[in-house]
């Protein structure tokens, strides 16, 4: 029976979940894989304040260098998140001959190419299943299960917090703030949820999916990222009447030699699988050639879900740890040189636009006149009936329109005397 010594750096919620699984299923893993996954050392700055039952044979330390310098440790699990010192920890682990498991999507999105090159130089591997979709096996599906396919597009709901908020706004008629508060009370959202609701968490995960499916390392600074905090209950209601659903969607699709990469709230048809993904669930829709469409869904948040993805990586690394690792698709190092990012200004799609206007004759003709000046054609108009003189929402669906033209038109419309607030525009996506 071979023992696989593990060094865990970061003993937070997910780290504690990993320990629970490895302790509770140790005999099962021994019997099935003929490997003994042993937690040799745990490093955490606050280790003395955290519960550690059943870890009598494990070294507990506040110094992560104890893990990195231990020659007997085979695999380092990095679960502290963020950029620093996580990057130095992973680089040091690789240089010291250790494989790495991480769930750090921000670091991979920002420095993935550098980390993978170091891994290949040291004949080590970085596994990162829980970086996208927690325990949903999307990374392994892309890199192994459908490796022979060309990826035409990737569409994902990959932030459980935002999906929970939008689901509760739709199901129960909650306001954005009410749904966010409930997400925090249930532990689905951080006390500071900014990275979730402004779309950046989704953007980091999308960047990881892009380099795995398209061979292009993209920075979140170079593509459009938009959150959900401007979505109102009016938008949810109007979407329902149009047989559409609003979801925060990660989009990456190949158009010729360009990549259209963006994150934003998106209107999708209710009969599409992504529209049925509710609560904290995540889902990824892959458009591939020759295989066609693949849809993967599962719980995308929670301690044990994320921990299960980490343990899956541990098992796969434990089985392969002594195999000579060539440069492999799981840790890509080179880019597709002929691919360029399409600027958001060049995107063309249909739009849902909500205006808050004074309810009086002539308002619609004024607004449609401005839209017409920018070559934006209207497909339909919906207006709630209210008392004359009051402020009412007017919703328009456009035909396919240019992003820049829509933005310029809305900027002009915002300053009209009959318009009471900045218009809300939500892109529609044909899946």
**What is the Cα–Cα distance from 409 to 305, expressed in whole angstroms?**
45
Q: Are residues 204 and 58 in the same domain?
A: no
d(CA 147, CA 142): 6
Q: What is the pLDDT of residues 310-339, one digit of tens each?
A: 999 999 988 877 766 555 567 888 888 788
Q: What is the pLDDT of residue 271?
A: 93
- Do 286 and 356 reside in the same domain of the chain? no
Query: Based on the domain organization, do 163 and 280 belong to the same domain?
Result: yes
Q: What is the CA radius of gyration of the chain?
A: 24
Residue 363 has a pLDDT of: 92
Domain assignment present for 325? no
Same domain as 358, residue 234:
no
pLDDT band at 385 (very low <50, low <70, confident <90, very high): low
Q: For 89-114, how does the pLDDT look when each residue is reduced to its tens digit (9 = 90+)?
A: 999 999 999 999 999 999 999 999 99
Catalogue the active-site residues: 205
Instruction: Give Cβ neighbours of residue 19 (< 8 Å, ≥ 6 apart).
Output: 8, 11, 39, 42, 55
Domain that holds residue 316: 2-127+304-320
Question: Are 287 and 254 within one domain?
Answer: yes
Per-chain mean pLDDT for the chain: 92
Residues 314, 320, 321, CA angle at the centre, nearest 5°? Answer: 80
**153 and 291 part of one domain:** yes
Is 337 part of any domain? no
pLDDT at residue 162 is higher than 60: yes
Q: Is residue 350 in a domain?
A: yes
pLDDT at 303 over 90: no
* CATH code, 350: 3.30.70.260
Count of CB atoms situated within 10 Å of the CB of 60: 16
Phi, psi for 367 (deg, rounded to 5): -70, -45
Same-domain check for residues 16 and 162? no
Are 192 and 117 contained in the same domain? no
Whether the per-residue pLDDT at 10 is higher than 80: the answer is yes
Kindly state the average pLDDT of the residues 342-351: 95
Mean pLDDT is lowest, of 127-141, 172-186, 383-397, for 383-397
pTM, entire model: 0.94
Query: Are 113 and 235 part of one and the same domain?
Result: no
CATH number assigned to the domain comprising residue 231: 3.30.360.10
């Amino acid at each position: 029976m071979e023992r696989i010594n593990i060094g865990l750096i970061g003993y937070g919620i997910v780290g504690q979940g990993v320990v629970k699984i490895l302790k509770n299923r140790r005999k099962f893993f021994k019997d099935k894989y003929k490997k003994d996954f042993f937690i040799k050392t745990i490093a955490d700055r606050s280790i003395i304040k955290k519960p550690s039952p059943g870890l009598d044979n494990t070294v507990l330390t506040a110094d992560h260098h104890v893990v990195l310098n231990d020659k007997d440790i085979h695999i380092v699990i990095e679960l502290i998140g963020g950029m620093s010192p996580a990057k130095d920890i992973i680089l040091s682990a690789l240089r010291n001959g250790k494989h790495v498991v991480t769930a750090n999507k921000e670091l991979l999105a920002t420095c993935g190419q550098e980390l993978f090159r170091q891994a290949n130089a040291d004949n080590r591997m970085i596994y990162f299943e829980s970086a996208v979709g927690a325990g949903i096996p999307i990374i392994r599906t892309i890199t192994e299960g459908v490796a022979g396919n060309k990826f035409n597009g990737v569409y994902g709901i990959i932030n459980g917090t935002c999906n929970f908020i939008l689901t509760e706004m739709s199901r129960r008629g909650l306001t954005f703030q009410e749904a966010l508060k409930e997400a925090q009370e249930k532990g689905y959202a951080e006390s500071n949820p900014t990275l979730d609701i402004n779309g950046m968490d989704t953007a980091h995960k999308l960047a990881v999916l892009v380099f795995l499916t398209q061979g292009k390392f993209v920075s979140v600074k170079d593509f459009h990222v938009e959150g959900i905090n401007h979505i109102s209950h009016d938008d949810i209601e109007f979407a329902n009447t149009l047989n559409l659903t609003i979801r925060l969607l990660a989009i990456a699709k190949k158009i010729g030699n360009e990549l259209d990469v963006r994150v934003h709230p998106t209107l999708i048809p209710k009969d599409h699988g992504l529209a049925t993904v509710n609560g904290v669930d995540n889902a990824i829709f892959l458009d591939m050639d020759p295989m066609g469409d693949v849809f993967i869904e599962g719980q995308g948040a929670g301690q044990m879900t994320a921990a299960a993805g980490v343990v899956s990586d541990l098992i796969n690394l434990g089985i392969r740890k002594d195999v000579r690792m060539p440069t492999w698709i799981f840790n890509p190092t080179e880019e597709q040189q002929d691919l360029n990012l399409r600027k958001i200004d060049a995107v063309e799609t249909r739009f849902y636009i909500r205006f808050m206007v004074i309810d009086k004759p002539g308002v619609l003709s004024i607004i449609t006149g401005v839209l017409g000046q920018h070559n934006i054609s209207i497909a339909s108009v919906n207006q709630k009936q209210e008392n004359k003189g009051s402020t009412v929402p007017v919703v328009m669906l456009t035909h396919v329109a240019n992003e820049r033209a829509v933005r310029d038109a809305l900027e002009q419309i915002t300053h009209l005397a009959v318009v009471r607030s900045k218009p809300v525009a939500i892109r529609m996506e044909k899946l």
